[in-house]
Amino acid sequence: MILEESLFARHRGKSILLDSNLLLVFLVGAFDSRLFGRFARVSDYTLEDYHLIVRLLSSFRVLVITAPTLTEVSNLANKLPERTKVDWFLSFADLLQSETQTPGIRERLLPAEQIAEMEEFSALQTLD
């Protein structure tokens, strides 16, 4: 079993923390997958990457989001074309407020020191 499989097996059903780039890929894919070819902020990713993130997230109970990550995703999304922004932010808000989303989305308002001590954070360090 490779390291990644071992980590997923050990943490399946728990919480996961995504960085702002992967969260943006997830949100853009959920909103309009055609943006992968048109939105510079996700130009390094494909629809297949989005589907991989969806499969990954399905193994976890909770998607943890921090305030700095939400801020960064919002800042990155501000580069969307004007005609798309309003609908994208409405979709983003709906997703954040959804009680049926899997995994459930929970914002954690914690100081950076506490975030660094979280099990989800330390698991990221072992992937290097």
pLDDT > 90 fraction of the chain, expressed in percent and rounded:
18
Residue 1 in any domain: the answer is: no
Structural domain contains residue 90? yes
Looking at per-residue pLDDT, the higher value among 98 and 75 belongs to 75
- The percentage of the chain sitting over the pLDDT mark of 70, rounded to a whole number, equals 77
- pLDDT per position as a tens digit, 20-57: 899 999 999 989 999 998 898 998 999 999 999 998 88
Query: What is the Cα–Cα distance from 99 to 88, expressed in whole angstroms?
Result: 19
Nearest to 66 by CA among 29, 31, 99, 96: 96
Rounded Cα distance, 105 and 98, in Å: 8
Q: Is the pLDDT of residue 125 over 80?
A: no
Positive or negative: CA dihedral 34, 99, 17, 112: positive
Token pair in block for residue 15:
């919480």
93: domain range?
6-125
Tell the burial category of 44 from Cβ atoms under 10 Å away from its Cβ (0-12, 13-18, 19+): exposed
57 in a structural domain: yes
**115 vs 16, more confident:** 16
Helix segments in 1-128, DSSP class H: 3-11, 20-31, 47-57, 67-77, 82-97, 112-117, 119-125
Q: Can you give the pLDDT at residue 99?
A: 56
How many domains, in total, are found in the chain? 1
